[in-house]
Structure 1
Amino acid sequence: MSGQRLVHVAIEDDWEACARFGEYDVATRATMFDDTGFIHAATASQLAWALTGTYADLAIPLVLVVLDEEALAAEGVAVAWDPEGPADGGTPPVPRLLGAIPTESAAVVARVPLERAGDRWLVPDLAGLGVRP
């Protein structure tokens, strides 16, 4: 299965802890899926905003999870597009995953460790991963 792809920024410890149970249900930093009803995701062009807006002050390991939309749908996880987008209003609608991510499925295409340079997170090279622009 190979469809459009999205990314989700996860705290590495959260991802590993959830993976033991087969599904990841953390919406975003310190927020569970049950509290919001969705898991935050992003396109390639929205990733820098997510890293600087939500995770800038964290200096613990983060991982970028690359997700296949068709495989998510096959697992029963729909993607909704929030028309409001980030507060800056300069980006297109933001994807929201309407279910937990099955950690051991074709939906998870890759996990890319994120790196810091000084006080900021670096956006990794997503070329070849098929992430929506």
Structure 2
Amino acid sequence: MSTTNAIVHLTERSLWEEALVRGAYEMSTRGRTLQEEGFIHCSTRAQLPGTAARFFADVPDLVVLVIDPDRLGVPLKYEAARPGGEEFPHVYGPLPVTAVVDVETWG
């Protein structure tokens, strides 16, 4: 896998550990599931600090899921967060744990 095309997702360690048991991760973002949101919010490496500061500043024990897009098996689309805004990667389906090639502690 080329690290240049990897995307990342920030989440609570406990949610990732639950996904390992199930075989798929299905949280979209903090407090919202894939089913509620329609996709899983992800970031590029460059976008990660801003995402962490905006949505997870008060959450302890976070991990960064490093995702290989070639292993997803579901659509990946880069879409603007708001009209004319910066584009973020969105995963349209459950994230298979096999697509996560590394897990890093955040903070």
Assess same fold via TM > 0.5.
yes
Give me the identity figure in percent: 30
The partner residue of 2:75 within 54, 75, 78 is: 78
Provide Cα deviations, 1:43-99, integer angstroms capped at 9, x if missing partner: 0111011000000122x2110000011111xxx22111112x369x4xx31110001
Which residue does the alignment assign to 2:11? Answer: 10
TM-score normalized with structure 1 length: 0.73
1:5 and 1:66 in contact (8 A); partners too = yes
Larger radius of gyration: 1
Deviation at 1:15, TM superposition (A): 0.8
TM-align CA RMSD: 1.8
Aligned partners of 1:17 and 1:57: how far apart in 2?
A: 21
Distance of 2:105 and 2:39 partners within structure 1? 23
Equivalent pair of 1:86/1:94 in contact (CA under 8 Å): no
Q: TM-score, normalised by structure 2?
A: 0.89
Corresponding residue SS for 2:74: coil
Task: Specify the alignment match of 1:19 in structure 2.
Answer: 20
Unaligned runs of 5+ in 2: none
Runs of 4+ more than 2 Å apart: none
Distance in 2 between residues matched to 1:68 and 1:98, nearest whole Å:
14
Q: Structure 2: which amino acid aligns with 1:28?
A: T
In 1, the alpha carbon distance for the partners of 2:87 and 2:29 equals 17
Shift of 1:30: 0.8
The Cα of 1:9 is off from its aligned counterpart by 0.3
Structure with higher strand content? 2
What stretches of structure 1 of length at least 5 have no aligned partner? Answer: 116-133
Counterpart check, 1:39 vs 2:40? yes
